[in-house]
Structure 1
Amino acid sequence: MSKHALIIIDIQNDYFPGGKWTLDGADRAADNAASILAATRSKGDLVVHVRHESESSDAPFFTPGSNGAQIHPKVTPLANEPVVLKHKVNAFLNTELKTVLDQHEIEAVTVIGSMSHVCIDAFTRAAADFGYNATVIHDACATRDLEFNGVSVPAAQVHAAYMASLAFAYAQVISTTDYLAGNTRDAAI
């Protein structure tokens, strides 16, 4: 049986309606995240919150000290749950995240949060490279429409492309329903 941690990445106010960088389906993803968080807490597994804050007050979102950079109330950390502050896309880069996981002898991680195509992707790939058994709960993650080279890509397609890529080589990618029902590769999760 492996030691498991839930990693909640960047479920922060700026991503919700009224915020500076609204994501498609942020509320729905956060509701699923809240269900996963409650189940994880009831099992006594480690929960680690990751909060992104820009280093510049000129940033388009998550500006230092702003309400938008705060963790959304749907997934408010408990006093005993670590909150890792990051300034880069990859939650492991220049943070204490790896140290926290190692101190708890974590072997398996489940990730939820935002944005699917950036921070969730970067965390999951790095976690796999570090040897963690990774699971992504796809409907507890959110993203937004993108544009590249004159091509508009709807959020649903952005999300699907990144989840397909992660599922191919980096993680088990499943729904909230399957996760809560225990339909995972790792019985410890």
Structure 2
Amino acid sequence: MSKHAVVVIDLQNEYLPRGKLPLSGIEAAVANAARIIAHARDQGVPVIHVQHLSLSAEAPIFVPGSDGVEIQAAVVPRAGEPVVVKHYPNAFRETSLKQLLDERGIESLVVVGAMSHMCIDAGVRAAADLGYAVTVIHDACATLDLEFNGVRVPAAQVHAALMAALAFAYASLESTDAYLAGQGTAAPDSP
């Protein structure tokens, strides 16, 4: 039994160019995530999907029942792959994710998804705090431009700053190519 799993966070239609919150580089991130998922499936590594739904039908994004909440076609779950529904950035908050991982004896996670500065950040930090070893596939994640105090921060800088912060104490980082060329079936090192 594999002691690690791939966790796919919020790769949903809302983030595509046709969605209400398009992300910079989302197509490349989804393509890389699909490669990681395919490799995991080939190796018998569990793949767990996390799907964000707004709590209100009045919400501007991720409205239940809308096309935006659907998981992107390139990474759609296969039969038997769990889908954890969440309502907050942290995939562990008020969800069954920890229980699901613990029931399967999972000790380490390989994380892909969106948005880097929100749900990837919150989920990775929570996972590390709960004792899981975490590897983030940095080029299988995406984000968007932000603004602070009148200063526009380009998505590439947002992503780089967040990945640097996670690498400092919460996760190891790999590119898709490096991960697949390495020990894609081995558990990531503890942070």
TM-score under structure 1 length normalisation: 0.96
Query: Given the alignment of the two structures, is residue 187 of structure 1 paired with residue 191 of structure 2, yes or no?
Result: no
| Matches of 1:14 and 1:181, distance apart in 2 | 31
| Matches of 1:25 and 1:40, distance apart in 2 | 23
Query: Given the alignment of the two structures, is residue 126 of structure 1 paired with residue 126 of structure 2, yes or no?
Result: yes
Q: Unpaired runs of 5+ in structure 2?
A: none
Q: Unpaired runs of 5+ in structure 1?
A: none
Query: Given the alignment of the two structures, is residue 40 of structure 1 paired with residue 40 of structure 2, yes or no?
Result: yes
- Identify the residue that residue 96 of structure 2 maps to in structure 1: 96
Q: Give SS of 1:113's match.
A: strand
Aligned positions, number? 188
| Matches of 1:132 and 1:159, distance apart in 2 | 22
Matches within 5 A, 1:47-86: 47-86=47-86
What is the CA distance between 1:64 and its match in structure 2?
Answer: 1.1
Q: Give SS of 1:22's match.
A: coil
| Matches of 1:82 and 1:2, distance apart in 2 | 16
| Matches of 2:60 and 2:25, distance apart in 1 | 20
CA contact (8 A) 1:33 1:75 kept: yes
What is the CA distance between 1:187 and its match in structure 2?
Answer: 3.1
CA displacement 1:55-104 (0-9 Å, x = unmatched) = 11222211111111010001010111000000011000000000000000
Q: Give SS of 1:33's match.
A: helix
Kindly, what percent of the aligned residue pairs are identical?
Answer: 60
CA contact (8 A) 2:134 2:172 kept: yes
Moved runs in structure 1, 4+ residues, more than 6 A? none
| Matches of 2:51 and 2:154, distance apart in 1 | 26
CA displacement 1:118-175 (0-9 Å, x = unmatched) = 0000010011011111000000000000011111100000000000000010000110
Q: Give SS of 1:62's match.
A: coil
TM-score under structure 2 length normalisation: 0.95
Pair 1:29–1:68, CA change in 2 (3 A): same
